[in-house]
Chains A and B, each alone.
Chain A
Amino acid sequence: DTAVSQTPKYLVTQMGNDKSIKCEQNLGHDTMYWYKQDSKKFLKIMFSYNNKELIINETVPNRFSPKSPDKAHLNLHINSLELGDSAVYFCASSRGRSGEQYFGPGTRLTVT
């Protein structure tokens, strides 16, 4: 299947832990994104990578660190998890910086 995939789909962890979320796209896109959707369903962009280079880094705590090993992958590592990090995290990709974005299924992170 051609798509944007994320793992895991659900992640429950305790405060203070470090966790990673993986994202892969096989659409041949050169731009990838991470979004956070809070409990009010508001989507906010966190990071954007174009050809493995960071082009958008919104005001996000430095506990969040994206890693792009190649154009098809953009992983999100989160250190010292806090309760407020609980949300659904979406990965997306596009052809070019202004192309249509294709979203993954989301990762629901719950910090207890």
Chain B
Amino acid sequence: KNQVEQSPQSLIILEGKNCTLQCNYTVSPFSNLRWYKQDTGRGPVSLTIMTFSENTKSNGRYTATLDADTKQSSLHITASQLSDSASYICVVSAGYQKVTFGTGTKLQVIP
């Protein structure tokens, strides 16, 4: 069964600090992995997408890593800002027709 598990479930950090969110998956066959940011009351917005051959991808202060051997990904946020407060969702695709969403990590950045 295809599954995507994220940890921690929620996280509170001080503004300016770094943090790392984890994603473990059992999706097969692996096609790509995306990280989305979802602000409260809005739709998810894509941050990064990685295929099997990519092991790191950056988007500003967001850096995603992928270890296809251990089926793990992480999203590192550098120098957090209040606007980073949101849910972060890991999404893994198995070919064209199977997309599995993680349950998300809710991040709160406090001043």
B101: chain A residues at CB < 8 Å are: 42-45
> Separation in Å of the B100 CB from the closest CB of chain A?
9
Query: B42–A105 contact, CB under 8 A?
Result: yes
Query: Is A83 positioned at the interface, with any CB of B under 8 Å from its CB?
Result: no
Query: Is B29 positioned at the interface, with any CB of A under 8 Å from its CB?
Result: no
Query: Is A22 positioned at the interface, with any CB of B under 8 Å from its CB?
Result: no
0/1 interface trace, chain B 20-46, chain A, CB 8 Å (1 if under)? 000000000001101000000111111
Q: CB-nearest residue of chain B relative to A108? A: B41
0/1 interface trace, chain A 53-66, chain B, CB 8 Å (1 if under)? 00110000000000
Select which of A92, A97, A106 is within 8 A of B96 by beta carbon.
A97
In whole angstroms, how far apart are the Cα atoms of A4 and B45 in the complex? 12
- Count of A-B contacts with CB under 8 A? 42
Query: B43–A90 contact, CB under 8 A?
Result: yes
Select which of B45, B93, B104 is within 8 A of A103 by beta carbon.
B45
Query: Is A1 positioned at the interface, with any CB of B under 8 Å from its CB?
Result: no
Query: A106–B87 contact, CB under 8 A?
Result: no
Question: Number of A residues contacting the other chain (C-beta, 8 Å)?
Answer: 21
Query: Is B99 positioned at the interface, with any CB of A under 8 Å from its CB?
Result: yes
In whole angstroms, how far apart are the Cα atoms of A103 and B39 in the complex? 12
Query: B43–A105 contact, CB under 8 A?
Result: yes
Select which of A43, A100, A104, A106 is within 8 A of B89 by beta carbon.
A43
> Separation in Å of the B32 CB from the closest CB of chain A?
7
Query: B103–A92 contact, CB under 8 A?
Result: no
Query: Is B70 positioned at the interface, with any CB of A under 8 Å from its CB?
Result: no
* A-B pairs with beta carbons under 8 Å apart, 25 shown: A41-B87, A41-B103, A41-B106, A42-B103, A42-B104, A43-B44, A43-B89, A43-B101, A44-B101, A45-B99, A45-B101, A48-B97, A55-B97, A90-B43, A97-B97, A98-B32, A98-B93, A100-B34, A101-B46, A103-B44, A103-B45, A104-B43, A106-B41, A106-B42, A106-B43
Interface residues of A (CB under 8 A from B): 4, 40-45, 48, 55-56, 90, 92, 97-98, 100-106
Interface residues of B (CB under 8 A from A): 31-32, 34, 41-46, 49, 87, 89, 93, 96-97, 99, 101, 103-104, 106
